Amino acid sequence: MITTLRGADYIATQDWSVEALETVLETSFDLKRRFALGEPTRLLPDKTLFMIFFDKSTRTRNAFEAGMTQLGGHAHDLNPDIMQISHGESPRDTGIILSRYGHGIAIRHDLEPGAGDAYIREVALHGDRPVINLQSDVDHPTQTIADLMTMREKFPEGLRGRKIAVSWAYAPSYAKPMSVPQGLIWLMTRFGMHVTLAHPPEYGLMQNIVDDARRNAELSGGTFEIVNDMDAAFEGADVVYPKSWGIESLFGEPERALEISKKYTDWICNGERMRLAKPGAIYMHCLPADRGYEVTDEVIDGPQSVVFDEAENRLHTAKAIMALTM
């Protein structure tokens, strides 16, 4: 167990060692057990977390706010419209000021490639309190650590050598961030898994993250491959994680991106595709899922779906990250 995480920023899982990530998981399991037993976990009494949301949130916002309360502290739920950020205050100044008012800063800034991660890292550079990434354009590290925890629960004999299919899926609602699939290929390749990324040709992920995933797989003894066939990705998989994301070059042209996506409406997770995976395979999604487009009700409400266990684990991993860093 790593015991030197106090004050550390949690911006990308790739920034943390495997040993540090294992500490988060170990702490998360302990906090989940104590929550189930009704034991108090006031590990951060009288501490304050400032949460700045540039985008909407259900699970992340409530996991961190409820989690901070359960840890004995308080979370401020903020958005740029009620802050001087909306009038141009710099991330440098915001980081310095909030660091003097409390004990941690958490930020979601995910819709504009090239902007969110840079903003979060600038706040972290100038502030002197831990900064937690609640989802950027690059990574969603508080989601993927909960995903990893859920896989550990469902496959207690171990994840090494198991196959996960991270697949694009069609959704008509909006061009969703790339950070979840990027975070998944970044993280799962570090734990010896066989990671298959599937997407139509237009929907490639950021090249530096793809390159990191290949290196991670080599170091961990896993594998990483990219295919343009959803069925091929699902074949023999232990975990399937199909979700929509946008086209990197078209985030400034959402209508054009959505028009391109209409060519791939057959990229849906249905019962037929689930039967391509192993009999004991699990279906995962960060939620909310576009029912009838990304996934059928048969699958998301079926016995192989673990989406609500996965969502529950957002609370326990959020608490672990805060308790260890703040």
Instruction: Write down the domain spans for the chain.
Output: 13-140+312-325, 143-310
What phi and psi, each to the nearest 5 degrees, are found at residue 12? -145, 140
Structure tokens at 187: 């993280």
Percent of the chain's residues with pLDDT above 90: 97
Percent of the chain's residues with pLDDT above 70: 100
Same CATH topology for 13-140+312-325 and 143-310: the answer is: yes
Q: What is the mean pLDDT of residues 102-116?
A: 96
Cβ-contact 258, 216 below 8 angstroms: no
Structure tokens at 318: 């959020």
Summarize pLDDT for 17-72 with one digit per residue, the tens. Answer: 999 999 999 999 999 999 999 999 999 999 999 999 999 999 999 999 999 999 99
Q: State which fold the 13-140+312-325 domain adopts.
A: Rossmann fold (3.40.50)
Q: 143-310: which CATH architecture?
A: 3-Layer(aba) Sandwich (3.40)
State the Cα–Cα distance between residues 322 and 105, nearest whole angstrom.
10
Structure tokens at 222: 């896993």
pLDDT at 213: 98
Query: Model-level pTM greater than 0.85?
Result: yes
Residues 6+ apart with CB under 8 A from 182: 138, 139, 205, 206, 209
CA nearest to 199, candidates 156, 259, 260, 143? 260
Provide the pLDDT confidence category of residue 254 given band limits of 50, 70 and 90: confident
Q: What is the mean pLDDT of residues 302-308?
A: 98
